């Protein structure tokens, strides 16, 4: 690994609190670009726009998706901006590169009736599982937390009559999210334990893993007569956001609740706004056709 790339990764860890998986992804992307450039006689730190453009063209020729190419270009942009700030380079070659055009995709989410079915199915699981699953689903759907944020909740986070949760999200950023009465009541039985985590794994000293939780979620989906392929922790986060907008929440408030640093990320949910506006016109416009 290039020493400048190592310095960049150290900066991400120290200054931005990047998670281990994030650092590994950046390292893999930069290493791939570095290998391509070295074969053409230049190091990653020395790359010019032409070399980087050739690298992106090679990704496309290899059949990689536009989304993968965009992610790698994003890593390169941040790397060269870092070199510019550190006066390693006097220019940023990525400024001359166009981002790959991404296909527009809408977030996958469940209907409100399907979420209700999931909650009922969770409550009907064997008693040892039901309490934990019901609490996890209630909290996820009530707050829109990321699954990593949910599973990292310490037991003390819900001590007393806590109506708010202090969440440490991506990059160590903190935010406060309200907790519904239903979610708090569902989690109440979990507070009787003595371990650190609200959702412990098989080893009480370790939090429930994402893989373990996702597997249980698929079983709940089957019980609810929902295709398990449509259900994941992130789909529940999308469902929270979509249903909030459909019922009148504004994008800025939703951005704060979800912990998005850029409101552009939150705008993927505006597909719901079009549906809501259509209903408003049908219900209230004087010339709308009445049945």
Residue 55 is predicted with a pLDDT of 94
175: closest CA among 253, 70, 83, 75? Answer: 253
- Does residue 89 lie in a domain region? yes
- Condensed to tens digits (0 to 9), the pLDDT of residues 262-285 reads 787 787 777 666 666 666 677 767
At what angle are helices 210-223 and 112-123 packed, to 10 degrees? 100
Are 170 and 210 part of one and the same domain? yes
- Does residue 250 lie in a domain region? yes
Query: Average pLDDT, stretch 158-183?
Result: 84
- Condensed to tens digits (0 to 9), the pLDDT of residues 51-74 reads 999 999 999 899 888 888 989 999
Q: How many whole angstroms separate alpha carbon 25 and alpha carbon 280?
A: 44
Domain boundary among 67, 96, 125: 96
Residue 279 is predicted with a pLDDT of 67
- Does residue 106 lie in a domain region? no
Query: Average pLDDT, stretch 228-244?
Result: 92
Cα dist from 3 to 27, 44, 264, whole Å: 12, 10, 34
Query: Average pLDDT, stretch 238-246?
Result: 89
Domain of 239, CATH number, reads: 1.10.443.10
Phi, psi angle pair for 48, to nearest 5°: -110, 175
Q: What is the mean pLDDT of the chain?
A: 88
Are 120 and 231 part of one and the same domain? yes
Are 146 and 262 part of one and the same domain? yes
- Does residue 12 lie in a domain region? yes
- Does residue 9 lie in a domain region? yes
Instruction: Say if residue 178's pLDDT is above 80.
Output: yes
- Does residue 105 lie in a domain region? no
- Does residue 288 lie in a domain region? no
Domain boundary among 96, 120, 139: 96
Are 126 and 83 part of one and the same domain? no
Query: Average pLDDT, stretch 78-107?
Result: 85
Are 158 and 61 part of one and the same domain? no
Residue 247 is predicted with a pLDDT of 85
Residue 11 is predicted with a pLDDT of 92
Question: Which range marks the domain in which residue 46 is found?
Answer: 3-96
Domain boundary among 66, 96, 126: 96
Domain count, the chain: 2
- Does residue 126 lie in a domain region? yes
Instruction: Say if residue 236's pLDDT is above 70.
Output: yes
Q: Note whether 252 and 278 are within 8 A (CB).
A: no
Catalytic site positions: 146, 170, 234, 237, 260, 269
Are 170 and 261 part of one and the same domain? yes
């Amino acid at each position: 690994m290039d020493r400048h790339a190592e310095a960049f990764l150290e900066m991400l860890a120290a200054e931005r609190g990047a998670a281990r998986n994030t650092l590994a992804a950046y390292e893999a992307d930069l290493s791939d670009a570095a290998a391509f450039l070295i074969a053409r006689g230049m190091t990653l730190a020395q790359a010019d726009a032409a070399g980087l453009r050739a690298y992106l063209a090679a990704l496309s020729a290899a059949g990689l998706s536009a989304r993968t190419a965009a992610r790698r270009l994003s890593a390169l942009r941040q790397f060269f901006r870092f070199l510019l700030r550190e006066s390693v380079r006097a220019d940023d070659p990525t400024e001359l590169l166009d981002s790959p055009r991404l296909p527009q995709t809408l977030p996958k989410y469940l209907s409100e009736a399907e979420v209700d079915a999931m909650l009922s199915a969770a409550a009907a699981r064997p008693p040892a599982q039901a309490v934990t699953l019901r609490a996890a689903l209630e909290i996820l759907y009530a707050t829109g937390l990321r699954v990593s944020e949910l599973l990292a909740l310490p037991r003390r986070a819900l001590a007393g009559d806590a109506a708010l949760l202090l969440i440490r999200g991506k990059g160590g950023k903190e935010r406060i999210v309200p907790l519904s009465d239903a979610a708090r009541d569902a989690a109440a039985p979990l507070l009787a334990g003595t371990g650190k985590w609200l959702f412990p794994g098989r080893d009480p000293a370790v939090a429930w893993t994402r893989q373990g939780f996702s597997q249980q979620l698929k079983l709940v989906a089957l019980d609810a007569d929902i295709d398990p392929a449509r259900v994941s922790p992130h789909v529940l986060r999308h469902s929270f956001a979509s249903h909030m907008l459909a019922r009148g929440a504004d994008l800025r408030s939703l951005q704060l609740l979800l912990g998005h640093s850029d409101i552009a990320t939150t705008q993927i949910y505006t597909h719901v706004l079009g549906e809501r506006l259509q209903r408003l016109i049908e219900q209230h416009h004087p010339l709308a056709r009445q049945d």
